Structure 1
């Protein structure tokens, strides 16, 4: 679970962002800008990352603050799950990435599988919507919802992508080193369980 200081910093950022968007009073705007600055300074102090860099990443959005959305495709073949090795950390993840404006979650899942693994897929069903803060991921500056969508292969062939350098299928007992910013061991264990128990309801939180 994420540390309290990170939770508080993100809450302050959310309050400041909404206030800067909707407030009309010049003095309130100054106060909300101060709250945003405090949230950035909290993160900079705790992480030892330069405040300017944190502001560019963390306090650069406008409008009402909402969670970001990460889509993960769950693709099985012969009781093994499809995974790709990420260029950024050299570890393995279910194909996926940030949701794209203008695309449905299903369209994102299909696109990400093709781009990262080379396979063509069709969407079968929604497996779950997970709040990243409720799972053992590394701390994140963003509040993230992770949508897991089951897909079936319809064509294509294994092929690395721009962001990936290997494609493989893994059994439940032979999982590789996971990119835990993207998917945790408990989440991969869960997808094996739910695939083998299709009557289970959609998981959330």
Structure 2
């Protein structure tokens, strides 16, 4: 188990490699000569190798992750929906990939708004149709205690109100349940943290919006 100092060092090195890759991606987008293209391609290859080493992955696998990341480099957008029942319990879904729990949500889709995306993810992953009431939080995951990631991710969390129940429609989750805020199951901490869920409960009660 890495020490806190080792985890912080890894986060710093990941941030540097992500920044290097972003510069290379943006450089390739604007490059006008074959010499610049060659140089930025080499920089991207170095960044892929650094990310692979830190994430215990093959360099080719990291390159494949970023193969469709073209144009000016931007953070990825993760959209989540926080749904509470009248007793104040929060709706969580179990991720099929790791057996851990999270708020329904995922990467933002092209062609729908962030709020529409949150409602769609809630319906597909939990079976519940919801009305999205308002935005609760915009978080930069680098500023929270999530496990290190090869991506720079911004997280948007919307408050949803239940309209009706249904069946899980997607293959990404295999269970859905309401939990007490103070008795949460094992969470998929790359997606959501227990302190973030507790913060969302505060925000939905005081009409606040949090951003960092």
Q: Same fold (TM over 0.5)?
A: yes
Residue number in structure 1 paired with 2:116: 107
24 and 152 in structure 1: CA distance in 2 versus 1, 3 angstrom threshold: same
1:34 aligns with 2:14: no
Alignment partners' CA distance in 1, 2:158 and 2:81: 5
Alignment partners' CA distance in 2, 1:156 and 1:29: 52
* Structure 1 residue corresponding to 2:55, chosen from 42, 47, 50: 47
1:181 aligns with 2:190: yes
Gaps of 5+ in 1: none
1:72 aligns with 2:80: yes
8 Å Cα contact 1:58-1:141 kept in structure 2: no
Normalising by structure 1, report the TM-score: 0.94
Residue number in structure 2 paired with 1:139: 148
Question: How big is the shift at 1:59?
Answer: 4.9
Question: How big is the shift at 1:156?
Answer: 2.2
1:62 aligns with 2:73: no
8 Å Cα contact 2:14-2:150 kept in structure 1: yes
Encode CA deviations 1:68-92: one digit per residue, 9 max, x unaligned: 1111101110211110011011011
* Structure 2 residue corresponding to 1:203, chosen from 194, 198, 210: 210
Normalising by structure 2, report the TM-score: 0.91
Question: How big is the shift at 1:3?
Answer: 1.4
8 Å Cα contact 1:40-1:59 kept in structure 2: no
Alignment partners' CA distance in 2, 1:158 and 1:185: 26
Encode CA deviations 1:85-120: one digit per residue, 9 max, x unaligned: 110110110111111000001111111111011111
81 and 48 in structure 1: CA distance in 2 versus 1, 3 angstrom threshold: closer
Encode CA deviations 1:10-65: one digit per residue, 9 max, x unaligned: 11101101111111122111111111111112123333421111111135421001
8 Å Cα contact 1:58-1:142 kept in structure 2: no
State the number of aligned residues: 203
Q: CA RMSD in A?
A: 1.5
Residue number in structure 2 paired with 1:193: 202
Alignment of 1:81-120 (within 5 A): 81-120=90-129
Alignment partners' CA distance in 2, 1:48 and 1:129: 29
Which stretches of structure 1, 4 residues or longer, exceed 6 Å deviation after superposition?
none
- Secondary structure of 1:3 counterpart: helix
